């Protein structure tokens, strides 16, 4: 009878030791995760935006129609196209206190603007930021040669 109690107590001690080891291992892994620079434990939204910025390195004018959708937020658009944070707010005269974390369609609805019209405005603002400025050739200061017969007299 004593040997059965010994086996039971040894088994209990081994299981208790394994549980303690597992708890220590989980604690160490959690501690290392929290110290990681990529762990945005307190702000998952920031983690998503950082991930998007890393994945979409260079979006351009050709990507505007694909990316600018009613479900997108201003922050999402700013991140993907690398726009200054207040650029769209300034260009579109946005005064919403939730900017930039407001969906394009929700903002349009709150301002009684047709969603398609507002999306077109957002796309145009992005195009004007991304489009290279083409210099206008300066007007020549030399008088143009006239081909009229009176000019040759």
- Write out pLDDT tens, residues 47-78: 666 666 666 566 778 888 888 999 989 998 98
What value, to the nearest 5°, has the Cα angle with vertex 103 and ends 98 and 107? 70
Can you give the residue ranges of every domain in the chain? 1-39, 44-130
Nearest residue to 104 (alpha-carbon basis) of 76, 62, 84, 65: 76
Closest listed residue to residue 131, CA positions, set 119, 139, 123, 120? 123
- Residue 150, pLDDT score: 53
Q: What is the pLDDT of residue 31?
A: 77
pTM > 0.85: yes or no = no
pLDDT for residue 122? 95
**How far apart are the C-alpha atoms of 49 and 78, rounded to whole Å?**
10
Q: Determine the Cα angle at 126 with ends 132 and 124, to 5°.
A: 100
Q: How far is CA 40 from CA 30, 47, 99, 137, 143, in A?
A: 13, 5, 21, 50, 66
Q: Is 146 helix (H, G, I), strand (E, B) or coil?
A: coil
Low-confidence ranges of the chain (pLDDT < 50): none
Cα→Cα distances 34→20, 31, 46, 53, 125, Å:
21, 5, 15, 22, 39
At 61 the pLDDT is: 81
């Amino acid at each position: 009878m004593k040997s059965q109690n010994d086996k039971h107590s040894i088994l209990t001690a081994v299981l208790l030791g394994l549980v303690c080891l597992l708890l220590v291992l989980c604690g160490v892994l959690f501690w290392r995760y929290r110290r990681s620079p990529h762990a945005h434990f307190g702000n998952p939204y920031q983690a998503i935006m950082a991930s998007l910025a890393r994945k979409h390195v260079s979006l351009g004018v050709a990507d505007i129609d694909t990316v600018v959708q009613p479900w997108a937020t201003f922050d999402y658009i700013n991140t993907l196209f690398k726009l200054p944070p207040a650029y769209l707010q300034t260009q579109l005269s946005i005064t919403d206190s939730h900017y930039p974390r407001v969906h394009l369609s929700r903002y349009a609805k709150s301002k009684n603007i047709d969603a398609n019209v507002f999306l077109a405005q957002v796309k145009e603002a992005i195009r004007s930021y991304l489009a290279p400025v083409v210099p206008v050739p300066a007007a020549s200061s030399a008088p143009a040669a006239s081909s009229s017969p009176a000019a040759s007299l």
